[in-house]
């Protein structure tokens, strides 16, 4: 574990906190990475690959309990001295296509029948 993590930060990652057996989360990180790999092309343009920042942002959202802003996410998942400017620029100004993300979500839903009654299965 990161030396900078507090007891509270470690507790959010405790599977018992969420009522999950340890076996349910053994490959959770690997699974999340696999999902991100399928979405990764959505964050690439002809001249730039911002997919790494998409990964940083996702990790921050899923591993931080509070104070999830660009600077704090960057400090937590990129480097303790990162100010979050590049992450904020990726989310605010980069030319990646939100519609491509939604298309990939629709693809994921079509590939998993248990999700097809969900709200996101409707065409956008």
Give percent of the chain with pLDDT exceeding 70: 84
CB 43 within 8 A of CB 49: yes
Distant-in-sequence, close-in-space partners of 108: CB < 8 Å, separation ≥ 6: 35, 38, 115
pLDDT bucket at 122, cuts 50 / 70 / 90: very low
Domain presence at residue 8: no
Query: In sequence order, what are the beta bridge partners of 49?
Result: 44
For residue 17, is it within any domain?
no
pLDDT number for residue 7: 74
- How far is the C-alpha of 75 from the C-alpha of 69, rounded, in Å? 10
User: Does residue 15 sit within a domain?
Assistant: no
Is there a domain that residue 76 lies in?
yes
Range of the domain at 58: 22-97
36 domain residue, yes or no: yes
- φ, ψ dihedrals at 123, nearest 5°: -65, 145
Residue 6 within a domain: no
Residue 63: φ, ψ to 5°: -115, -5
Look at residue 49 and tell me if it is in a domain.
Answer: yes
Number of domains in the chain: 1
pTM above 0.85, yes or no: no
pLDDT of residue 13: 67
* Position 9 in a domain: no
Per-residue pLDDT reduced to its tens digit, 9-65 = 677 667 777 777 777 777 777 888 888 899 999 998 888 888 999 999 988 988 887
């Amino acid at each position: 574990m990161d030396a900078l993590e507090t007891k509270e930060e470690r507790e959010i990652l405790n599977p018992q906190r969420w009522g999950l057996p340890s076996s349910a989360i053994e490959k959770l990180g690997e699974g999340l990475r696999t999902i991100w790999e399928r979405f990764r092309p959505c964050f690439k343009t002809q001249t730039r690959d911002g997919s790494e920042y998409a990964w940083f942002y996702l990790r921050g959202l899923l591993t931080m309990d509070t104070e999830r802003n660009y600077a704090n996410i960057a400090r937590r998942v990129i480097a303790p001295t990162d100010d979050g400017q590049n992450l904020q620029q990726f989310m605010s100004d980069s030319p990646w296509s939100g519609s491509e993300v939604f298309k990939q979500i629709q693809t994921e839903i079509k590939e998993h029948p248990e999700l097809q009654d969900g709200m996101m299965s409707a065409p956008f």
